């Protein structure tokens, strides 16, 4: 045995001497793979047969093989002592028409070993895969190491892409130092009952991170015959201490033996400050850190073999280094004074120049940015429209950005008076002491069509002169998102007075009726009296402002749409607030003036009940106020749902009439609802009857219907609670009850 070992060592020494003497004639690459000693292709170019690379040049792209077998090399690293190969994939398949096919690859190595950076992976729905290998010599008595895993799945299994957890795919770690392996791949049930889903099992070694499981691999992995696998390598079977005195020892010259490597065999690396192939004598060359800029010298760098030295330039002293515990280079006293004076003078001059230049450029950039936004937002178009239409008190004013900044104290948070789905509203004081509301929108219109529409809306809204519509005073076009300036309404929103504690007591029934009437008149004006019909599209108490005399002002036209006179409906994306949205609009995306009628109907119900339109704090059947109100009306329970803060002992005729009007506004089909003009006229009549203390009767066909409802509600009310009402339209409630209530997260 000893004689055999000596012969092998002598043969290796001869091969090394031959290789290192003639490596210049060896191939340095094959295809995309760089070949470096101890690997090589050709006589005298490799250390031993384990490091032989066979380059097959018969194909269009040369392919390197490990040894004379069929193991394809895809990459190799001398510094990491690793070789990446494309290892064959094992398979076990039951093809119903082509019979059974099984392939179980194996691998036998001498100086190369299977890296522990690999994983053993099995894929299949009826798969048992394991491997066995030996760490020692081929003829040793060391026991075989082995492990494996099981992969199962069925048609309804929850397959997880990227995870080999045992469902469709499993994986195990590879033991350190295996020199060979044999693979066994089996099916528990011979792929019974799942052949049309996954008729194959697969197993392979693969480098960590180079494979992620996909459910499609259960059927499509047959197209993959090889997977990337890492092999570790070292020289021989002896350690550094055992091999250093032998003739075939490779770590020579500026190369050292890596003592951190625990074997078997040994590895070489270049000395610090050198680079190259450590397995070729004198191939580790000095690194010139000074030329590469990898040094830590502060001033002067001088290269030395395997290192470098640092020094300071004239007028400075120290070790010249700038990292770690180095002292660096310190200027002499006289030099410090000179440098300080020069630096301070230069710094002051540069600071003054830079500040002056910065202010000029900043001002110029700001002016250019404002001009850009002004043109982008249609400012020129708006000015042309204003000058073409002639100047009048009703025209919109184009404000400058500085004027609005000053009016809002640079948009201080203390000036915020409201936030909504479309923007933030600030309280501002103009130079003429007018108090205004300035709205910053969240979304900017960028297309030419949107800019033209925005300008058109500004012009039209500024010309609206109705006591119950918030007046648009003007806009600012010098910001990225245009700012709108409205008249300031001091007494908050209708929602504040209805729903906030302590406020609703001031809203008596006659005030609520007047607010409803004024709101209806404003919407009627927008629908039928404005130069271009306007659909508000977001009618709700939060968008109805009140002044100190509780006069209603319709506000927030951020979602509004201008409707051409020749159109009665407009296809558009659904916008608005859940609880107030027209169900027909929600289902068809067809916006009409009847959409505002439905939303106004919900507002009427809020005025009657004092409850919010949508609340998940209430019982399930009461969450949607409109549906619950119609149900209560149908069941004759109007008195029970009226706002307790109205302090009613009986149901007045005016409330019955308004309840009936709300029921008509809330009908599912828009054609069955009244117009806002009809609603406004009817509310005016109810308000007049309340003021004059006598009932107001609806003319025409509505007269009989109103009298019938009034009689029925009054009779039921007197017979039970002194104020109970009878059935509302059952068809309306039934159709409303079938409407699906969409989940919401917040207001809009």
What value, to the nearest 5°, has the Cα angle with vertex 478 and ends 474 and 484? 30
Catalytic residue among 92, 94, 538, 582: 538
CA-nearest of 483, 672, 689, 480 to 594 is 672
Neighbouring CB atoms inside 10 A of 160's CB total 13
**C-alpha–C-alpha distance, residues 719 and 723, integer Å:** 8
Q: Any known ligand binding at 594? A: no
DSSP helix/strand/coil, 717: helix
Percent helix, strand and coil across the chain, each to the nearest 5:
35, 25, 40
**C-alpha–C-alpha distance, residues 650 and 664, integer Å:** 23
What burial class does residue 403 get, using C-beta atoms within 10 Å of its C-beta: 0-12 exposed, 13-18 middle, 19+ buried?
Answer: middle
Half-sphere exposure of 405 (CA within 13 A, CB side): 6
At 710, list the tokens: 């009034």
Query: Which pairs count as long-range contacts for 305-313, CB under 8 Å and 24+ apart, including other chains?
Result: 305/273, 306/254, 306/271, 306/272, 306/273, 306/274, 307/272, 307/273
- The alpha carbons of the chain give a radius of gyration, in whole angstroms, of 44
Kindly give the pairing relationship between strand 435-441 and strand 330-331.
unpaired
- Helices within 222-376 (DSSP H only): 240-243, 289-292, 333-376
Q: How many helices (H) and strands (E) does the chain have?
A: 18, 37
**C-alpha–C-alpha distance, residues 50 and 29, integer Å:** 18
**C-alpha–C-alpha distance, residues 315 and 303, integer Å:** 22
CA dihedral 529, 532, 533, 538 (to 10 degrees): -120
By the 8 A CB rule, do 279 and 79 touch?
no
**C-alpha–C-alpha distance, residues 442 and 615, integer Å:** 26
DSSP per residue, 418-450: EEETTEEEEEEE-TTS-EEEEEEESS---SHHH
**Which backbone phi and psi does 109 adopt, to 5 degrees?**
-130, 165
Is residue 126 flagged as an active site residue?
Answer: no
CA-nearest of 440, 405, 444, 445 to 423 is 440
Half-sphere exposure of 255 (CA within 13 A, CB side): 22
Contacts of 617 (CB under 8 A, 6+ apart): none
DSSP per residue, 652-672: -HHHHHHHHHHHHHT-SSGGG
Tokens 């012009």: give the residue.
459
CA-nearest of 302, 336, 299, 335 to 320 is 299
Q: Between the CA of residue 548 and those of 430, 551, 555, 603, 608, what are the distances in Å?
A: 21, 7, 16, 21, 22
By the 8 A CB rule, do 476 and 400 touch?
yes
Q: Between the CA of residue 310 and those of 292, 294, 295, 324, 333, what are the distances in Å?
A: 15, 12, 9, 14, 22
**Which backbone phi and psi does 498 adopt, to 5 degrees?**
-85, -45
Half-sphere exposure of 262 (CA within 13 A, CB side): 2
CA dihedral 639, 643, 645, 651 (to 10 degrees): -30
In DSSP terms, 85 is beta-bridged to 73, 229
656 upstream amide cis, omega within 30 of 0: no
Catalytic residue list:
538
Annotated binding-site residue numbers? 440
């Amino acid at each position: 045995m000893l004689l055999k070992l000596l012969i092998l060592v002598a043969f290796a020494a001869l091969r090394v001497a031959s290789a290192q003497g003639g490596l210049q004639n060896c191939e340095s690459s094959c295809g995309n793979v760089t070949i470096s000693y101890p690997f090589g292709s050709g006589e005298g170019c490799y250390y031993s047969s384990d490091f032989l690379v066979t380059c097959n040049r018969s194909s269009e792209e040369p392919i390197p093989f490990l040894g004379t077998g069929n193991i394809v090399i895809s990459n190799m690293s001398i510094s990491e002592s690793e070789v990446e190969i494309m290892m064959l994939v094992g398979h076990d398949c039951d093809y119903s028409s082509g019979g059974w096919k099984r392939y179980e690859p194996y691998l036998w190595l001498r100086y190369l070993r299977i890296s522990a950076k690999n994983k053993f992976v099995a894929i299949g729905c009826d798969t048992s895969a394991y491997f066995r290998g030996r760490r020692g010599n081929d003829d040793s008595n060391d026991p075989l190491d082995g492990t494996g895993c099981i992969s199962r799945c069925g048609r309804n299994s929850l397959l997880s892409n990227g995870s080999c957890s045992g469902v469709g795919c499993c994986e195990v770690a590879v033991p350190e130092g295996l020199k060979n392996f044999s693979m066994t791949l089996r099916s528990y049930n011979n792929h019974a009952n799942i052949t049309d889903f996954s008729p194959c099992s697969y197993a392979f070694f693969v480098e960590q991170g180079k494979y992620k499981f996909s459910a499609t691999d259960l059927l499509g992995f047959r197209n993959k015959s090889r997977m990337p696998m890492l092999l570790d390598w070292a020289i021989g079977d002896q350690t550094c201490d055992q091999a250093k005195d032998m003739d075939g020892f490779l770590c020579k010259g500026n190369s050292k033996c890596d003592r951190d490597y625990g074997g078997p065999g040994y590895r070489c690396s270049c000395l610090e400050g050198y680079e190259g192939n450590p397995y070729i004598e004198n191939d580790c060359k000095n690194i010139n850190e000074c030329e590469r800029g990898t040094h830590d010298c502060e001033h002067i760098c001088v290269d030395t073999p395997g290192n470098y030295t640092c020094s300071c330039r004239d007028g400075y002293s120290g070790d010249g280094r700038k990292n770690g515990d180095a002292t660096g280079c310190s200027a002499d006293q006289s030099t410090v004074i000179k440098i300080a004076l020069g630096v301070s003078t230069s710094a002051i001059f540069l600071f003054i120049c830079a500040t002056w230049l910065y202010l000029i450029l900043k001002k110029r950039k700001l002016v250019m940015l404002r001009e850009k936004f002004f043109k982008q937002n249609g400012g020129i178009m708006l000015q042309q429209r204003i000058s073409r239409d002639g100047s009048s008190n009703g025209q919109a004013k184009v404000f400058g950005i500085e004027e609005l900044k000053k009016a809002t104290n640079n948009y201080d948070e203390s000036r915020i008076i409201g936030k909504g789905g479309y923007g933030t509203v600030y309280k501002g004081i103009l130079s003429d002491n007018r108090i205004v509301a300035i709205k910053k929108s969240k979304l900017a219109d960028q297309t030419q069509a949107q800019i033209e529409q925005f300008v058109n809306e500004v012009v039209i809204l500024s010309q609206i002169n109705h006591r119950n519509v918030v007046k648009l005073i003007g806009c600012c076009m010098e910001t990225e998102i245009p700012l709108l300036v409205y008249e300031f309404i001091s007494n908050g929103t209708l929602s504040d007075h209805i729903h906030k504690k302590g406020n609703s007591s001031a809203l008596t029934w006659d005030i609520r009726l007047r607010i409803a009437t004024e709101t209806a008149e404003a919407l009627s004006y927008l629908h039928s009296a404005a130069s271009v019909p306007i659909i508000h599209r977001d009618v709700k108490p939060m968008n109805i402002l009140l002044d100190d005399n509780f006069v209603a002002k319709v506000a927030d036209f951020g979602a509004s749409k201008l409707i051409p006179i020749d159109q009665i409906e407009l296809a558009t994306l659904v916008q608005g607030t859940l609880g107030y949205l027209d169900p027909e609009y929600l289902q068809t995306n067809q916006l009409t003036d009847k959409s505002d009628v439905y939303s106004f109907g919900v507002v009427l119900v809020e005025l009657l009940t004092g409850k919010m339109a949508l609340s998940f704090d209430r019982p399930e059947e009461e969450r949607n106020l409109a549906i619950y109100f119609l149900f209560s009306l149908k069941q004759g329970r109007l008195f029970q749902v009226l706002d307790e803060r109205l302090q009613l002992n009986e149901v007045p005729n005016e409330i019955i009439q308004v309840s009936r009007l709300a029921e008509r506004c809330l009908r599912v089909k828009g054609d069955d609802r009244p117009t806002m003009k009809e609603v406004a006229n009817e509310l005016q009549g109810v308000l007049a009857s309340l003021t004059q203390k006598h009932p107001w009767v609806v003319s025409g066909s509505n007269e009989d219907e109103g009298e019938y409802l009034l009689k029925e509600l009054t009779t039921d009310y007197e017979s039970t609670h002194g104020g109970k009402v009878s059935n509302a339209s059952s068809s309306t409630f039934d159709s409303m009850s079938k409407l699906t209530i969409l989940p919401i997260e917040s207001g809009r």
